Amino acid sequence: MTAECTWRRTHTCGELRAEHVGQVVTLNGWVSARRDHGGIYFVDLRDRYGLTQIVLTTSVAEGIKLSPEDCLSVRGAVVSRDAANVNTDRPTGEIEIAVSSVETLSSAKLPPFEIIDDLDTAVETRLQYRFLDLRRPTMQAKLMHRSRFIGAMRKAWLARDFCEIETPVLTKATPEGARDYLVPSRVHAGKFYALPQSPQIFKQILMVSGMDRYFQVARCFRDEDLRADRQPEFTQLDMEMSFVEEDDVFAVWEGVMVDTFRDAMGVEVEAPFPRMPWAEAMARFGSDKPDIRFGMELIDVAAWAKECEFKVFSGAIEAGGRVMGLVIEGGAEMTRKEINALEEVAKTYGAKGLAWWKSAEGGGAGPLARFCADDAAPRLMEILGAKEGDLCLFAAGNQSLVWRILGELRVHLGKKLDLVGEGQDWRFLWVTRFPMFERDAESGSWTSLHHPFTAPQDWDLAGDVGTLESRAYDLVLNGWELGSGSIRIHRQDVQSRIFEILGISPEDQRNKFGFLLDALAYGAPPHGGFAMGLDRIVALTLGLDSIRDVVAFPKTASAADAMCDAPSAVEAFQLAEIHVASTAPAPAAAAQDDA
């Protein structure tokens, strides 16, 4: 624009105060609420910074039609309000703008929903009109919190001499782990890139290169089904450092989290964070991401169960399985209906049923009561640490199933019974010493629990493969897994041996990971790192259960973008260029749906 600009703002809609009274200002913003009193007309003008009331008298308003969400430029004097008219709920409530001229920069169609905070609109509609959804002050506040949080973190890493380095988004497909998003190559007919599930190998190679301390705010892609806390593309704070062991990684992260919480939120986080071996986490909480804000730990009742007359329990012990329980203090007041609901929860996670007992010296009540005659009841109560009036829940079966059932029940009960006490906002926990390998349920072969580059506790890999412990660790916050990391393998011979255990042939090792093995052969430093899911921690610090509100343009549960309608069909010539032919059936006309 070469002519003098008539509409550019002098202030935002959130900054004018009593001290500005008398100034003539120009504001730009959107029409939020309108209150027409005939001879005088009030409009709340909104932008990212706040709301300012503008006042139009009849002569100014003449011929001007303001609709909700019109984008305006208004010019006028800042005037103070009479004491009776001050709006104490708004930072700008002491003043208003006596408008002398209005310019409509862009008029708005009637929005499908009102742009206000406390409006419970269907997610479907919100996502389709995300540009309007993101105009709501709460949504803008969430995005601004995300920006502040990540900004504080970046500053904390840079202050610790970490170097921010970008790694490729077009990279190499690997069959291990999650399903890859694939990108066909035009230049190399029949070949494909993959979008990274994480920058794992690149960051290790940066360590071999001697970059020593790396971090990145990295977008990662996994073509798996969604959840409230999982999107197919998500953001990690990825880092790696050289010449370190576990304690070094923990210490630097603890410092970064303390700084970040302080800078972004004004919250003092307690550090160092407690550490707990995986085996202890499973035994005590039945979970590798325990919420340590409340107790109700799992109790092994094998000593009682093996001798009891309840065949399900004694049989489980004989078969090499476990019988464990939970005690809900005062839970005997629960109704049969509530207990049945708990059983349904247990069944979701593979339980055949849920044995329960309202504990009492005299034998108690519930399905287990008839096995609690004479001294059986007091003995069971002693093992459980239960009192009269408590409700005890039991699971029997193989170890992993029992852990899972009771671990999930514990989390469920923690929410249902509101067991998290006051002042327990941020309870971080490092979970360490994960198992190195687990059996694949289908093929029976070994797979890495973390990833194949994780160092073992014992470089010699001596002993039974199934009992080997790794140097992997997770950071857990209030029962959410925030991220994982490990000390890596920096020795080529050990890396090859791990691939061998995983059943990857020497030939496949060369094809898939040859560049890493090569790198490890050129003086790789001991190194380790960690990656934190930023969507999750940003959601968690806002008290949200879903990460959808902290992602500007999230996908729906079917991995679609409701606003731009991705994914979508492409032109035949585009497929031809990349040497791709679709095997998808043509969409049937009858299946078309205009919803």
Which parts of 286-325 interact with RNA (CB under 7 A)? none
Show contacts with RNA in window 208-227 (CB under 7 A): 222, 224-227
Contact segment (CB under 7 A) with RNA among 111-119, 151-159, 283-291, 297-305 equals: 111-119
Contact segment (CB under 7 A) with RNA among 34-42, 134-142, 209-217, 576-584 equals: 34-42
Which of 526, 486, 492 has the alpha carbon at shortest distance from 506?
492
Distance of CA 109 to the CA centre of its chain: 35
Instruction: List the one residue from 374, 422, 460, 593 that touches RNA (CB under 7 A).
Output: 593
- Our CB check for RNA shows the closer of 187 and 584 to be 584
- Our CB check for RNA shows the closer of 192 and 349 to be 349
Residue 377 CA to residue 63 CA, distance in Å, equals 85
CB atoms within 10 A of CB 579: 13
Instruction: List the one residue from 335, 558, 568, 583 that touches RNA (CB under 7 A).
Output: 558
- Our CB check for RNA shows the closer of 5 and 590 to be 590
Show contacts with RNA in window 225-254 (CB under 7 A): 225-230
Q: Are the C-beta atoms of 494 and 437 separated by less than 8 Å?
A: no
Show contacts with RNA in window 503-532 (CB under 7 A): none
Instruction: List the one residue from 8, 17, 35, 191 that touches RNA (CB under 7 A).
Output: 35
| Cα-Cα end-to-end distance for the chain | 42
Tell me how far, at minimum, the Cβ of 450 lies from RNA, in Å.
5
Residue 309 CA to residue 328 CA, distance in Å, equals 24
The burial of 359, by beta-carbon neighbours within 10 Å (0-12 exposed, 13-18 middle, 19 or more buried), is given as buried
Show contacts with RNA in window 560-589 (CB under 7 A): 560, 562
Instruction: Answer yes or no whether residue 37 interacts with RNA by CB under 7 A.
Output: yes
Contact segment (CB under 7 A) with RNA among 22-30, 85-93, 152-160, 238-246 equals: 85-93
Instruction: List the one residue from 1, 5, 83, 441 that touches RNA (CB under 7 A).
Output: 441
Question: Could you give the maximum distance between any two Cα atoms of the chain, in Å?
Answer: 97
Residue 483 CA to residue 450 CA, distance in Å, equals 11
With H, G, I as helix, E, B as strand and everything else as coil, classify residue 495: helix
Residue 12 CA to residue 51 CA, distance in Å, equals 9
Instruction: List the one residue from 100, 121, 171, 209 that touches RNA (CB under 7 A).
Output: 121
Distance of CA 159 to the CA centre of its chain: 26
Binding mask 452-481 for RNA (x = CB under 7 A): x-----------------------------
Place of tokens 């009849």: 58
- Our CB check for RNA shows the closer of 59 and 335 to be 59
Show contacts with RNA in window 50-79 (CB under 7 A): 53, 55, 57-58, 65, 67-68
Q: Which whole-number Å values give the CA distances from 326 to 285, 322, 355, 389, 404, in the listed order?
A: 10, 14, 11, 14, 13
Task: Read off the tokens for 100.
Answer: 């002398």
Instruction: List the one residue from 96, 133, 259, 288 that touches RNA (CB under 7 A).
Output: 96
Show contacts with RNA in window 138-177 (CB under 7 A): 174, 176-177
Contacts of 535 (CB under 8 A, 6+ apart): 229, 231, 234, 235, 547, 550, 551
Show contacts with RNA in window 325-364 (CB under 7 A): 348-349
- Our CB check for RNA shows the closer of 194 and 393 to be 194
Instruction: List the one residue from 142, 450, 471, 527 that touches RNA (CB under 7 A).
Output: 450
